[in-house]
């Protein structure tokens, strides 16, 4: 008989193991057996909980996004100013938990898989919109709505680009990623303000 209360624990172990396995491999070229072994459960149990590898992958993306959202909400609660909100969002995206080698490599694999998976594409679209909206909410009081949207788009592109560079391990990032994005934000805000009468 299954142990009562074990399902959520095993599901989390499996989604964590999927992220680790995909991150370590740098691609979706992993099996349910690989993932189950990492999670310390049988492949049959993995199939019981998720049905298929694709369902497990979608659940893993959801788990990553949920964790990122929890961390973002907690950081935003501590922010005291609109500019502080922007800094909090940037810091969370590059926190050691979010910007670890395996997590970043898994994100890249998920983006590649999104071309063939409508559920993953939908989740990543939601993530992109949420990141943009969070950045705009902090930037709007500083520069107005139109400029906030433009600056947020650039900052989000930088965040995604720095993830790609880390995942591909192409010479690494020359400077602290938080500092790079913060510098972009500050330069853009100063530029907008300098053009105002």
pLDDT in tens, 118-167: 999 999 999 999 999 999 999 999 999 999 999 999 999 999 998 888 87
Summarised one tens digit per residue, pLDDT across range 71-128 is 999 999 999 999 999 999 999 999 998 888 888 888 888 988 899 999 999 999 999 9
- pTM score, two decimals? 0.86
Give me the CATH topology for the region 58-194: Tetracycline Repressor; domain 2 (1.10.357)
- Tell me the per-residue pLDDT of 3-14, one tens digit each, with 9 for 90 and over: 656 788 899 999
* Residue that is written with structure tokens 């433009």 in the block: 150
At residue 52, does pLDDT exceed 50?
Answer: yes
How high is the pLDDT of residue 138? 96
pLDDT at 1 over 60: no
């Amino acid at each position: 008989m299954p142990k009562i209360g074990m399902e959520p624990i095993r599901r989390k172990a499996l989604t964590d193991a999927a992220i680790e396995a995909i991150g370590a491999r740098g691609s979706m070229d992993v099996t349910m057996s690989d993932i189950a072994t990492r999670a310390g459960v049988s492949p049959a149990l993995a199939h019981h909980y998720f049905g298929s590898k694709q369902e497990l992958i979608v659940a893993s993306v959801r788990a990553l996004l949920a964790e990122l959202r929890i961390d973002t909400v907690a950081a935003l609660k501590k922010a005291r100013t609109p500019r502080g909100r922007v800094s909090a969002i940037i810091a969370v995206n590059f926190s050691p938990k979010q910007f670890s080698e395996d997590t970043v490599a898994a994100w890249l694999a998920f983006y590649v898989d999104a071309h063939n998976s409508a559920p993953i594409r939908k989740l990543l679209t939601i993530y992109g919109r949420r990141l943009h909206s969070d950045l705009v909410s902090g930037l709007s009081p500083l520069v107005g709505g139109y400029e906030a949207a433009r600056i947020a788009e650039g900052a989000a592109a930088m965040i995604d680009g720095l993830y790609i560079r880390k995942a591909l391990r192409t010479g690494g990032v020359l400077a602290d990623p938080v500092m790079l994005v913060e510098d972009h934000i500050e330069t853009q805000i100063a530029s907008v303000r300098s053009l105002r009468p």
